[in-house]
Amino acid sequence: MIDSIVSLQSEFISSKSNEERKKLGQFYTGSIVSDFMASLITKINSKKIRILDAGAGAGILTVSAAMRCFELGCTDVHAVLYELDEKAAKYLERAMSRFSQEHNTKASKFTFEIRNQDFILSRPDKDESIEPFHLSVINPPYFKYSVKESPYSKATSDLFKGDPNIYASFMATVMSCMLLNGQMIVIAPRSFTNGLYFKGFRQYMGGLSSIERIHIFNSRSRVFKERESSVLQENVIFKFVKRPQAKNITVSSSTCNADIQNAESNEYPDSLIIDSTNEQRIIRVPETLSDAHIMLQAENLPTHFEAAGYFISTGPVVEHRTRDYICKPSTNRNTTPLLRPHNIKPSEVVWSGKHNKDVKFKLKSGHDKHTIKKDVYVLLKRFTSKDERRRLVAAVFNPKTINEDRVGFGNKLNYIGVKGKSLTLVEAYGLAALFNSTFMDKYFRCISGNTQVNATEIRIIKFPSRETVKVIGRIIKKVTNPTQDDIDEVVNCELGI
């Protein structure tokens, strides 16, 4: 039966352009992933099981879920499937009808109803004529929308604050539709596990449900049925159950869908996965036992980045808004270097004016809104490419390297300093070494699943004391052109790991 659904799904995908599907956030699930998601369903104590599929596509997740329910001894399954795309709904009707015919026997019964409606705008959790559900296995659409113009803006504001992405609205609404102990299994980008935009969503989900299983895909392009590369975050499968948080959470990982069934699973205490020490409630995902060990070591650090006395801000120069200020590096009068990501090398800021990407910033009227008084800072790249080996790349900005009193930091950089005072060069080298260490890079990867280094995550990461940072700086500063091994040896020794 699954092969039949896959055939219908492929037929539908080939009938629509990539642009059409991306507009609706349609990323279709293959049979290997749908079978794995269904395998996470545990026995439900009910004679008749109600399944909700929000954004059903060709219905492969509903079929996999229903087959799993029959395997667990259920004999009566009813599915309610929402599909906004009229063309997709026709394929869905064919698929569900075939499956229903196969399972309308004495041993099993499958019934369904298709609602060609917008799941979020129709809000079934507010419709008293719709009974709550026992189960939902979903691959919600993925797209951002305009907070000012979209009908989805504030559509789920009664559930959580913010408008981060349509898939969060789907997940929250589905959970609102669940009965007590109802199970929701979802495949989605990992971006909801961290970041300020998803803070309200995480708080809502944490107050209503328990995370019981996490599976992470290391590859961003080898999970969905069609190869897509526009999602920058790792993809994750989460199982939520509508009840208080369980004491332990199982985590597994695989490179892609092909090796998913052989993924090694490890169980961790919920306190290691869910950071409840602050209001962010970041969900941390160790891909391996080694990553979990690093997280445990980080938990033993004495403080947090912000509590240690540091600040982090995003560079204020937004280049497309300040084009009139940007000029060639050969312009000498009333200008200052504008530092960009290519100027950030491990440990040192390099600006010669000879690189083809080097530019300067004019110190004309209004420049002080965009430039910063020169001082000692640590600069941290905000973005890395998908395939870049390191997520964290930090460098020391020495104010003596420029003659001007002001300097420009582009908004693709974060800059770090000490609250209320200036960094010393020794402490700056210590900070840069810490961020450039393998330990900190792996720790940060457990916290953040996308290629952007957000100030929000940095502010709350566990951190050593300033005195320890200074000790690291004093040692590193004596090493000429320190290698990665040099940095790791010093940082690991001073952190006691």
Residue 221 pLDDT > 60:
no
Find the range with the poorest average confidence among 240-244, 252-256, 398-402.
252-256
Residues 131 and 204 in one domain: yes
Residue 44 pLDDT > 80:
yes
**Is 240 within 8 Å of 202 (Cβ atoms)?**
no
Q: Across residues 439-460, what is the average pLDDT?
A: 90
| 352 found inside a domain | yes
The pLDDT of residue 156 is 97
Residues 341 and 475 in one domain: yes
| 269 found inside a domain | yes
Residues 257 and 377 in one domain: no
**Is 38 within 8 Å of 68 (Cβ atoms)?**
yes
| 101 found inside a domain | yes
pTM of the full structure: 0.87
Residues 373 and 272 in one domain: no
Residues 266 and 368 in one domain: no
Residues 315 and 410 in one domain: yes
- Longest Cα–Cα distance of the chain, Å, equals 88
List the 406-409 sheet strands across, edge first: 326-327, 359-362, 335-339, 406-409, 371-373
Residues of the chain with pLDDT > 70, as a percent, come to: 90
Q: Kindly list the distances between the CA atom of residue 257 and the CA atoms of 182, 190, 291, 486, in Å, as whole numbers in the listed order.
A: 26, 16, 21, 38
Q: Across residues 65-71, what is the average pLDDT?
A: 96
Find the range with the poorest average confidence among 183-192, 351-360, 443-452, 472-481.
443-452
Q: Please, which pLDDT band fits residue 258 given cuts at 50, 70 and 90?
A: low
Give the up-direction half-sphere exposure of residue 488: CA atoms within 13 A in the CB hemisphere. 7
The pLDDT of residue 254 is 86
The pLDDT of residue 14 is 58
CATH number where 116 lies: 3.40.50.150
Q: Kindly list the distances between the CA atom of residue 191 and the CA atoms of 180, 216, 253, 450, in Å, as whole numbers in the listed order.
A: 27, 12, 16, 7
Q: Return the higher-pLDDT residue of 233 and 214.
A: 214
Q: Which of 13-17, 22-26, 87-91, 341-345 has the highest mean pLDDT?
A: 341-345
Residue 233 pLDDT > 80:
no
Residues 356 and 412 in one domain: yes
Report d(CA 205, CA 168) in Å as an integer: 10
The pLDDT of residue 218 is 72
Residue 219 pLDDT > 70:
no
| 303 found inside a domain | no
Number of neighbours of residue 250 by Cβ within 10 angstroms: 17
Residue 118 pLDDT > 50:
yes
Number of neighbours of residue 423 by Cβ within 10 angstroms: 22
Q: How many domains does the chain have?
A: 2
Residues 97 and 194 in one domain: yes
The pLDDT of residue 104 is 82
Q: Return the higher-pLDDT residue of 109 and 58.
A: 109
Number of neighbours of residue 125 by Cβ within 10 angstroms: 19
Residues of the chain with pLDDT > 90, as a percent, come to: 76
Torsional sign, CA 25, 29, 33, 35: positive
β-strands 462-463, 303-304 pairing: antiparallel
The pLDDT of residue 346 is 83
The pLDDT of residue 259 is 73
Residue 350 pLDDT > 90:
yes
**Is 132 within 8 Å of 179 (Cβ atoms)?**
yes
The pLDDT of residue 226 is 47
Q: Kindly list the distances between the CA atom of residue 480 and the CA atoms of 23, 121, 423, 487, in Å, as whole numbers in the listed order.
A: 52, 61, 21, 11
Residues 63 and 192 in one domain: yes
Q: Please, which pLDDT band fits residue 58 given cuts at 50, 70 and 90?
A: confident
Q: Return the higher-pLDDT residue of 317 and 221.
A: 317
Which residue segment(s) compose the domain that 146 sits in? Answer: 2-287
Residue 469 pLDDT > 60:
yes
Q: Please, which pLDDT band fits residue 87 given cuts at 50, 70 and 90?
A: confident
Q: Which pairs from 158-162 meet CB under 8 Å and 24+ separation?
A: 159/204, 160/200, 160/201, 160/203, 160/204, 161/199, 161/200, 162/197, 162/198, 162/199, 162/200, 162/201
Report d(CA 388, CA 196) in Å as an integer: 24
Find the range with the poorest average confidence among 209-213, 401-405, 447-451, 487-491.
447-451
Instruction: For residue 409, give every residue at least 6 positions away whose Cβ sits within 8 Å of its Cβ, in sequence order, or none.
Output: 315, 316, 317, 338, 339, 372, 377, 379, 415
Q: Kindly list the distances between the CA atom of residue 84 and the CA atoms of 21, 81, 167, in Å, as whole numbers in the listed order.
A: 12, 10, 14
User: Cα-Cα-Cα-Cα dihedral of 370, 373, 376, 377, to 10°?
Assistant: -20
Q: What value does the CA radius of gyration of the chain take, rounded to a whole number of Å?
A: 26
Residue 444 pLDDT > 80:
yes
The pLDDT of residue 459 is 94
Q: Across residues 477-492, what is the average pLDDT?
A: 95
Q: Return the higher-pLDDT residue of 287 and 417.
A: 417
Report d(CA 172, CA 355) in Å as an integer: 48
Place of tokens 């009808």: 97
Q: Please, which pLDDT band fits residue 248 given cuts at 50, 70 and 90?
A: very high
- For residue 373 the two structure tokens come to 């008084």
| 251 found inside a domain | yes
The pLDDT of residue 4 is 65
| 479 found inside a domain | yes
Average pLDDT, the chain: 90
CATH number where 432 lies: 3.90.220
Residues 137 and 209 in one domain: yes
The pLDDT of residue 140 is 94
| 94 found inside a domain | yes
Residues 8 and 91 in one domain: yes
| 296 found inside a domain | no
Residues 263 and 367 in one domain: no
